[in-house]
């Protein structure tokens, strides 16, 4: 069996370091004998193509990455946005790093196909100028920029953000390439780009909780013009830029005028009944009870003890449920995952013969060919 020569072992060593594993660990994981793999690392040759392909797949790289000659520059592989997230969270797991790189690759694909189809078509990112420290005014300007009315749901918020040139991806609830690792606390992240920013929202059991994550990340993009990665704790932070993004998101989703409609006299004494008390407002505004309570807390209409008591109660309920689904509606999953704008671009490129049907399937989370056709019919009806 023919063996590959001129393997760039320095790149293998870098990948091992990046993933926090040893060369022997790698050999075990790709099912190559340790003594054989040590000889490969010493000589730069000796793997079969299948073994090298397995190694490349393990690190989410192409085979050519490991046979190209010359020194490796991490700055060429990873964008400034990626490095910003890594600086914020140095202990990013290998799976999460791969997820972020996958998001960036899909953003680059989207822009490339848009350029091939018609560079003048599609939404353009032209953000409004927001005041630095007046979050109420900043939220009001952003609501007008987004064209929001009084009745919304997560789908409406997402559509409004995407219509203004920001890609929004929502992770899947089932295992696969587009699921944020189950052991990760990441709730969402934003990749700032002056041409086409990307927001990633972790799928939740309740979509109303996704609304706050979406607007928190939009706050980072509009207020800070930088990339951020956030866990659940950041979405409650009262410090620095996280505080600003939280205040912006809360005021955008629940402006002061909305709060005036909530009667304090109707508030139950038991925090377990708060969901029922605020149900009409939650449904109309597309937000969670917690977001409304936080705004009431900021307005001085709810004490911090009651706010914390509700959060403790809700967290106990949340542990009983997990976000999942998607398998029963596989053909429509790319719409939920990538958004209508991305999906339409892939399908338009397919019809224009810029990409093959197989590539369209690959770009749309590897759905079946038959599901690509079902998705086309669904998109036509959107």
Confidence of residue 320 (pLDDT cuts 50, 70, 90): low
Is residue 379 very low, low, confident or very high in pLDDT (cuts 50, 70, 90)? confident
Q: Is the pLDDT of residue 309 over 90?
A: yes
How far is 299 from 297, CA to CA, in rounded Å?
5
Q: How confident is the model at residue 366 (pLDDT cuts 50, 70, 90)?
A: very high
What is the pLDDT, as a whole number, of residue 319?
63
Query: How much is the pLDDT for 323?
Result: 59
The pair of structure tokens assigned to 6 is 């001129």
Which two tokens mark 158? 């997402």
Q: What is the residue extent of each domain of the chain?
A: 9-77, 135-318, 327-380
Interacting residues of 280 by C-beta distance below 8 A, sequence separation 6+ = none
What is the bridge-based pairing of β-strands 167-170 and 186-191? unpaired
pTM comes to 0.90
pLDDT average, residue stretch 254-271: 95
In CATH, the number for domain 9-77 is: 1.10.260.40
- The mean pLDDT of 14-37, rounded to a whole number, is 93
Predicted pLDDT of residue 73? 80
DSSP letter at 78?
S
| Dihedral over Cα of 307, 311, 314, 316: its sign | negative
Q: What is the pLDDT of residues 156-196, one digit of tens each?
A: 999 999 999 999 999 998 888 999 988 899 999 999 999 99
What integer pLDDT is reported at residue 129 of this predicted model? 95
Q: Per-residue pLDDT for 327 more than 70?
A: no
- Reading the block at residue 376, the tokens are 């086309």
Give pLDDT, residue 120.
80
- pLDDT of res. 122: 79
Phi, psi of 99 (to 5 degrees): -65, -45
């Amino acid at each position: 069996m023919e063996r590959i020569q001129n393997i760039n072992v320095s790149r293998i060593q870098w990948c091992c370091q990046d993933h926090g594993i040893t060369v022997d660990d790698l050999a075990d994981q790709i099912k190559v004998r340790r003594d054989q793999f040590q000889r490969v690392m010493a000589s730069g040759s000796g793997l079969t193509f299948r073994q090298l392909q397995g190694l490349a797949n393990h690190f989410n790289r192409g085979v050519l990455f490991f046979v190209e000659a010359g020194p490796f520059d991490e700055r060429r592989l990873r964008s400034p946005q990626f490095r910003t997230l890594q600086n914020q969270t140095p202990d990013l797991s290998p799976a999460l790093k791969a997820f972020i790189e996958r998001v960036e690759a899909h953003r680059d694909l989207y822009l490339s196909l848009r350029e091939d189809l018609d560079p003048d078509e599609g939404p353009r990112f032209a953000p409004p100028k927001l005041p630095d420290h007046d979050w109420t005014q900043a939220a009001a300007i952003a609501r007008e920029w987004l064209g929001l009315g009084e009745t919304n749901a997560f789908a409406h918020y997402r559509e409004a953000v995407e219509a203004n040139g920001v890609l929004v991806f929502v992770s899947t609830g089932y295992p696969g390439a587009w699921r944020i690792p189950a052991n990760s606390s990441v709730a969402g992240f934003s990749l700032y780009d002056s041409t086409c920013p990307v927001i990633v929202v972790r799928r939740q059991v309740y979509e109303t909780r996704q609304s706050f994550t979406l607007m928190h990340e939009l706050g980072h993009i509009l207020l800070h013009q930088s990339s951020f990665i956030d866990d659940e704790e950041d979405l409650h932070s009262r410090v620095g830029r996280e505080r600003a993004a939280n205040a912006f998101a809360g005021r955008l989703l629940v402006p002061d005028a909305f709060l005036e409609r909530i009667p304090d006299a109707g508030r139950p004494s038991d925090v377990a009944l708060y969901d029922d008390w605020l149900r009409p407002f939650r449904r109309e505004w597309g937000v969670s009870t917690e977001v409304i309570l936080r705004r009431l807390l900021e307005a001085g209409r709810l004490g911090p003890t009651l706010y914390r008591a509700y959060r403790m109660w809700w967290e106990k309920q949340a542990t009983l449920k997990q976000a999942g689904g998607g398998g029963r509606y596989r053909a429509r999953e790319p719409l939920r995952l990538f958004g209508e704008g991305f999906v339409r671009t892939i399908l338009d490129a397919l019809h224009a013969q810029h990409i093959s049907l197989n590539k369209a399937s690959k770009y749309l989370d590897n759905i079946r060919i038959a599901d690509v056709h079902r998705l086309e019919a669904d998109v036509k009806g959107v």
